[in-house]
Amino acid sequence: MTEKQLRDLMGGMTLEEKVGQLVQCGAGQFIQNSMEITGPEGEMLPAEELNRVMGSVLTFEDASQAKALQDKHLAADRNKIPLLLMLDVIHGLRTTYPIPLAMGCSFDDDLMTECADMARRESAACGVHVTFNPMVDTARDPRWGRILETNSEEPLVNARMGAALVRATQGNDLSDPENVACCVKHFAGYGAPEAGRDYNTVDMSERQLRETYLPAYKACLDAGARLIMPSFNALNGIPSVANKWLMNRVLRDEWGFRGVVISDFNAVGELVAHGMAENLKEAARLAMEAGCDIDMMQNAYYLHLKDLIAEGAVSEEMLDAAVLRVLRLKNELGLFENPYHGADEEKEKAVYLCPAHREIARRAAEESAVLLKNEGILPLSRTLKKIALIGPFARERHLVGFWSRPGAWKDAVTIPEGIGAILPDCELVMEDGCGAEIGDADGSGIERAVAAAREAEAVILALGEPEGDSGEGRSRAELTLPGLQTELARRVIAANPRTAVVLFNGRPLVLTELEKVAPAILEMWYPGTEAGSACARLLFGLANPCGKLSAGMPRSVGQCPLPYNRMNTGRPKPGPDGVPVPFSSCYLDMGNLPLYSFGHGLSYTTFEYEDLKLSGDTMQAGGSLQAVVTVKNTGEKAGKEVVQLYMRDPVASVVRPVQQLIDYRKISLAPGETAQVAFTVTEAQLRFWNFDCECVSEPGMFELSTGYADHLKLTRSFRLI
């Protein structure tokens, strides 16, 4: 349709019909649905009444449901305006790839593209028009259960991976039924709730917000994302969905965003609970004024917008502008011509869990695993005849993590299945040892586990957090392995020191006690459908670990939040970490550094870095220079290395971080092979938000280093003139 046709269509709509375009309901109101919804359904109106006018629906199961929903609606809507069908496809639809935090550990934008591409194919076949992805909330506090949904504690990684996902999902032409529109979320600062408690308030300086939290959303919008979702939290006192500064000034005016804003689940209604609005009607007005186009899962708009317009409290122009944005999106998706978009039952059968998709998921699981520690235990020999596979995750199939489809876990490969495919003749003795639930104090299985460990040639100890313990509404105040798992590890490792621990969890955990006893720890996160295959291949050396932590692992929950790019202080702690220095910025009872830093990750081979060279010792404003480092594979196995480039601005008009990642590249090296890795460093990368909230660079010295957080090496300086 042309813009004129869209406007004419809108011109012929009643007020109620226009308001309907801004209403989003759960599919479960109209069809039988087993999908989980993540909030209260609110006061729902009769389904027939809604179906006639509503503009969009969320959370449906498959192509046949997508078609049924569309048919039912189009039969009732006199204007024949197709529904927008939206779904949370966060890390795959039927073929699940690793959780986003794990994907961040791959530091591999191309791999992200491949995974997003696979999710796009499956989503399109399912009939999805809009996915509520990417989530790019920078998060630095693992107590927050939704840290699992973000790629990293580092905004640069979130920006690059988020943008890669948007490009792969949307393609060049949204009317192509193979493409799906992206909704970036949660705008803004949702990843910084006080004390890591989900939905909690966020209070931070504008400078901090702009420097650390906003860039990733902006990068996704620059990559073309058509929708954005304001966050649940209050940001500096105003919930995002009603935050005019954030939504009108920053998003629409400064960034020029022309797409659709959709509230989070019942977030408009929650303005009442926030104490911002006296009732739902006022909530509807506040959200409209802040430019929120669609009201997800509440009837604030449906019940009150008409009256608000009649009373002159909301202008009809404002309503029209929002409706037009929604209609334009439908038009761009080609829905007026093809309301099913890509929904196709045959295609679903062809693409869901197809071998090519499983292969991508397996590779992603391998590349996002992080070898935290290895004292000569891994890889395990493929000649082993008897292995004890111990722990609550030993036979677990729930390895896909939050935001996977109900039942997706059933398609996941378990560890014994993965090992069986590689070593069919190896005897596996399996014992749970204990449970993994918070507060589970049943140690009655530990003795059996110890006995099994003693009699085996080697032990694989699979520990972690139950799938449901990280994700939305899943904050934790303790970050140790739940239940008796650490005790199980102590006992099993004492019985057989040839033990490799593998971990399945959705957040950085406090592994301080485990680290003291475990000779090898492989962090698998929730790896998705190919969990067991990837895990087995890594354990037995058919794949070489290359993941690096995308968020540091604290020594204690008391250190949180613990960003690697912490700010300088006036009393920095000199000397070795862990030794308190009187009257310096330190703890009396613990070091300042995490147990495992951001960017840490081992391999079965070793890499040496030498000779970081800069193309010059000065940089002009608006200019750039090259930083080249030589990396050599000094071990005996082929391996991949994530080469990380850090920057420090030692003197500036505002306090700067002690280290900041400014670029990364993943390379592959054969044994003995050497590569020269070149980074272009531009003046734009040296910029920061100054006291007056202007993004500037300041002349002076800068330092560039390789290595990883808190373990920088080969530092070189240059001057910006």
CB of 58 to ligand NOJ, least distance (A): 6
Contact 415, 459 (CB under 8 A): no
Positions 154 through 173 that interact with ligand NOJ (CB under 6 A) = none
Q: Residue 287 and residue 272: Cα distance in Å, rounded?
A: 12
For residues 88 and 641, which CB has a smaller minimum distance to ligand NOJ in the complex?
A: 88
> Dihedral of the CA atoms 229, 77, 321, 267 (nearest 10)?
-30
Q: Which of 42, 645, 584, 521 is nearest to 300 (CA)?
A: 42
Which of residues 431, 472, 530, 663 is near ligand NOJ by CB under 6 A? 472
62 touches ligand NOJ (CB under 6 A): no
What backbone torsions phi and psi does residue 34 show, to the nearest 5 degrees?
-105, 10
The smaller minimum CB distance to ligand NOJ, of residues 265 and 664, is found at 265
CA 589, distance to chain mean position in Å, is 33
Residue 709 · residue 617 · CB < 8 Å: no
36 vs 48 by CB, closer to ligand NOJ:
36
If one counts every other C-beta atom within 10 angstroms of the C-beta of residue 681, the result is: 22
Q: Quote the least distance from Cβ 269 to ligand NOJ, whole Å.
A: 13
Least distance from ligand NOJ to the Cβ atom of residue 202, Å: 14
| Residue 270 contacts ligand NOJ per CB under 6 A | no
Shorter beta-carbon distance to ligand NOJ: residue 18 or 94:
94
Residue pair 372/596 in contact by the 8 Å Cβ criterion: yes
259 close to 228: Cβ distance less than 8 angstroms: yes
How many residues are recorded in the chain? 721
Query: Could you confirm whether 469 is annotated as catalytic?
Result: no
Nearer residue to ligand NOJ within complex by CB, 88 or 295: 88
Cα gap 662→616, rounded to integer Å:
18
How many residues of this chain bind ligand NOJ (CB under 6 A)?
8
Smallest distance, Å, CB 384 to ligand NOJ? 43
Which residues lie across from 646 on neighbouring strands?
661, 705
CB-based closest residue to ligand NOJ:
132
Q: Check residue 393 for interaction with ligand NOJ (CB under 6 A).
A: no
Question: Of the candidates 542, 584, 546, 530, which has an alpha carbon nearest to the alpha carbon of residue 669?
Answer: 546
Among 30, 97, 132, 646, binds ligand NOJ (CB under 6 A): 132
Least separation in angstroms between residue 128's CB and ligand NOJ is 13
Q: Please, which residue, 50 or 536, has the CB nearer to ligand NOJ?
A: 50
Q: Is 523 in the site for ligand NOJ (CB under 6 A)?
A: no
Residue 227 is inside which H or E element, if any?
Answer: strand 227-230
Q: How many CB atoms lie within 10 A of CB 367?
A: 25
Q: How many CA atoms lie within 13 A of 51 on its CB side?
A: 17
Tokens of 616: 């010059």
Planar angle of CA 569, 575, 578, nearest 5 degrees: 90
Which of 137, 125, 66 shows the shortest CA–CA distance to 95?
125
Q: Which amino acid is at 92?
A: G
Work out how close the CB of 86 gets to ligand NOJ at its nearest, in angstroms, rounded to a whole number. 8
With a CB cutoff of 8 Å and minimum separation 6, the contacts of 27 are 33, 35, 57, 58, 59, 60, 65, 69, 85
88 binding ligand NOJ? (CB under 6 A): yes
Between the two ends of the chain, the Cα-to-Cα distance in Å is: 53
Pick 65 or 533: Cβ nearer ligand NOJ: 65
Closest to ligand NOJ by CB, 134 vs 379, is 134
* Binds ligand NOJ by CB under 6 A, chosen from 265, 402, 504, 689: 265
Dihedrals φ, ψ of 308, to 5°?
-60, -35
Whose Cβ is closer to ligand NOJ: residue 23's or residue 518's? 23
Is residue 396 a contact point for ligand NOJ (CB under 6 A)? no
The answer to whether 33 contacts ligand NOJ (rule: CB under 6 A) is: no
Rg of the chain, C-alpha, whole Å: 26
Catalytic residue, candidates 62, 88, 137, 264: 264
Residues contacting 266, CB < 8 A, separation 6+: 39, 40, 42, 296, 297, 298
- The least CB distance from residue 60 to ligand NOJ, in Å, is 12
The residues facing 639 across adjacent strands are: 669
State yes or no: residue 200 binds ligand NOJ (CB under 6 A): no
Q: Smallest gap, in angstroms, from Cβ of residue 38 to ligand NOJ?
A: 4
Based on the shown chain and the rule CB under 6 A, indicate whether residue 91 belongs to the binding site for ligand NOJ. Answer: no
Cis peptide bond upstream of 186, omega within 30: yes
Asked whether 471 and 145 are in contact (CB, 8 A), the reply is: yes
- Asked if residue 38 binds ligand NOJ (CB under 6 A), the reply is yes
Residue 293 binding ligand NOJ, by CB under 6 A: no
Asked if residues 29 and 42 have their Cβ atoms less than 8 Å apart, the reply is no
The dihedrals phi and psi of 238, each to the nearest 5 degrees, come to -125, 120
Residue 185 near ligand NOJ by CB under 6 A: yes
Residue 674 main-chain phi, psi, to 5 deg? -120, 145
Interaction between residue 213 and ligand NOJ (CB under 6 A): no
Q: Which is nearer to ligand NOJ, 183 or 661 (CB)?
A: 183
Nearer to ligand NOJ, 228 or 518 (CB): 228
The least distance separating ligand NOJ from the CB of residue 194, rounded to whole angstroms, comes to 18
Complex with ligand NOJ: residue 299 or 592, whichever CB lies closer: 299
Region for 609 from its dihedrals, namely left if φ exceeds 0, alpha if ψ lies in -120 to 50, beta otherwise: beta
Q: Does 295 bind ligand NOJ (CB under 6 A)?
A: no
- Cβ 264 to ligand NOJ, closest distance in Å? 5
Q: Write down the least CB distance from residue 126 to ligand NOJ, Å.
A: 15
Instruction: Starting at the earlier edge strand, list the strands of the sheet with 618-619.
Output: 618-619, 711-720, 700-708, 639-648, 660-669
Contact 218, 188 (CB under 8 A): no
- By the rule CB under 6 A, 264 interacts with ligand NOJ: yes
540 is a contact residue toward ligand NOJ (CB under 6 A) = no
DSSP three-state, residue 357 = helix
How far apart CA 426 and CA 417 sit, in angstroms, is: 12
115 DSSP 8-state letter: H
List the helix and strand counts (H, then E) for the chain.
Answer: 21, 26
Least separation in angstroms between residue 148's CB and ligand NOJ is: 12
Residues that bind ligand NOJ (CB under 6 A): 38, 58, 88, 132, 185, 264-265, 472
Catalytic residue annotation: 264
